[in-house]
Amino acid sequence: MTTSNNCPAFRNPSSILILTAAFGEGHNAASRNLRTALLERSPTSRVEIHDVFQESYGWRHEILRKGYSALINHLPAVWNQVFDVMDKTPIGSSSARIFSTALERLHDLLLETTPTVVINTFPGYGILLDSLHKKGLKRTYWNITLLTDSITINSLWYRSDSDTFITPNLQTSAVLEKAGIPRHKIHPLGFPVSPTFSKISTHKLPPLSGEKWKILYMVNAAHRRAPSLTKRLLTLKNAEITVTVGKNEALGKTLNQLSHSQQPFEIHGWTPHMPRLIGRSHVLIGKAGGATVQEALAGRTPLLITQIVPGQEEGNGQLILENGAGTFASKGPQIIAKLEEAFAEEGLLWKKWFHAASSLSQPNAALNIADFILTQKIQSS
């Protein structure tokens, strides 16, 4: 793997810089999991994760992040237009001037860390890096773009210069190839889910007599309707409900009160045990985010999708629905009806979902990507 045609020296990938952004959890999850895998495979390597936008803009970044979250959750049609404009409008390194502070921070970061490998998990970094190189910054590293969504990917991911593109699946690789990326640059190694998925049992069977269907409701959007949907889920016969609320402490308190007044159920805030919770569940209920979809598949857990953000999440939903690894329902009554249908006749439909999810499962993806990176020799100046 080379970064220049005229570089005689070779270095091992011992200094790795991972660039992430807080606009969607998939970028951060992929970065964390890949760092864990790299250090598991090579404990002496230096692996750093940086969110240049957060480090550059502070409170202004937080306002922008919250605005992005509000847009995709409350005005998805507007976000779809924004996504479409970014996808179709030529954006070159000259556009990076808007983010001059981030450019300066990235420039300093590259000089401080002197990485042999730079991994971009957010598409905006490609443009920033191109701009720095055009301004004279010497390219001395292997530049990897790691895509965190499937199939309907924004062209920002591949309009900048990159040595290697790591995709979550063959379908996404085909999209890149159709867009003109040389096949030798594309590697469908998967989405880097937590390496823990490769170490736990995810084999599932329909409940035996006296057992219950295990349902995991992951609240990562539509927080306001979470209590009402949880109440509906508690009406299901022969079901055991677990709800995760992440860092939303207010929602956790509300659901905790509900647990005392209704049938008891399990509630988790942010937890490092998500692989175990997903792996033991028969169905995961959540939105079609890149990380959520790939974690469900890694745990061989069928996904009942409640929301698909137009643009980047459409391909994630397509991956699940076209392969029969779950279903879609956005309203409470529909969700209950879909679950009852899946569990009927000793789980006949659920078994089809499970086998489809299993066929797409890549629990070793983070470790495979780490092995791919660490076994390369990187040509440098």
Q: CA-CA distance, 356 to 321, in Å (whole number)?
A: 10
pTM for this structure?
0.90
Q: CA-CA distance, 306 to 330, in Å (whole number)?
A: 4
The pLDDT-based confidence of 377 (bands split at 50, 70, 90) is low
Q: How many CB atoms lie within 10 A of CB 198?
A: 18
The pLDDT-based confidence of 379 (bands split at 50, 70, 90) is low
Q: Give the DSSP H/E element, type plus range, for residue 285.
A: strand 283-286
- Average pLDDT in the 260-272 region? 84
Sheet holding 283-286, edge to edge: 266-268, 239-244, 213-218, 283-286, 303-305, 326-328
Q: Which amino acid is at 17?
A: L
Lowest mean per-residue pLDDT among 14-18, 71-75, 240-244, 286-290: 71-75
CB burial string 234-273: b at 16+ within 10 A, e below: eebeebbbbbbbbebeebbebbeebbeeeeebebbeeeee
pLDDT at 46 over 70: yes
Q: CA-CA distance, 289 to 307, in Å (whole number)?
A: 9
- Cβ-contact 44, 129 below 8 angstroms: no
| CA-closest candidate to residue 31, choices 154, 122, 158 | 122
What distances in angstroms separate CA 141 from CA 31, 67, 113, one per listed residue?
18, 34, 11
Token pair 């439909």 in the structure block, residue: 349
The pLDDT tens digits for 192-220 are: 999 999 999 888 999 988 899 999 999 98
* Sequential DSSP letters for 131-161: HHHHTT----SEEEEE--S-SS--GGGTSS-
The pLDDT tens digits for 81-110 are: 888 888 887 665 456 667 889 999 999 999
Query: Which domains, ranges and CATH numbers included, belong to the chain?
Result: 9-193+364-380 (3.40.50), 199-360 (3.40.50.2000)
The pLDDT tens digits for 120-129 are: 999 989 989 9
Three-state secondary-structure class, residue 6: coil
What string of H, E and C letters represents the secondary structure of 256-281? HHHHHHCCCCEEECCCCCHHHHHHHC
Q: CA-CA distance, 149 to 322, in Å (whole number)?
A: 16
Looking at residue 54, what is its pLDDT?
93
Q: What is the overall mean pLDDT for the chain? A: 89
What distances in angstroms separate CA 243 from CA 10, 21, 329, one per listed residue?
49, 26, 18
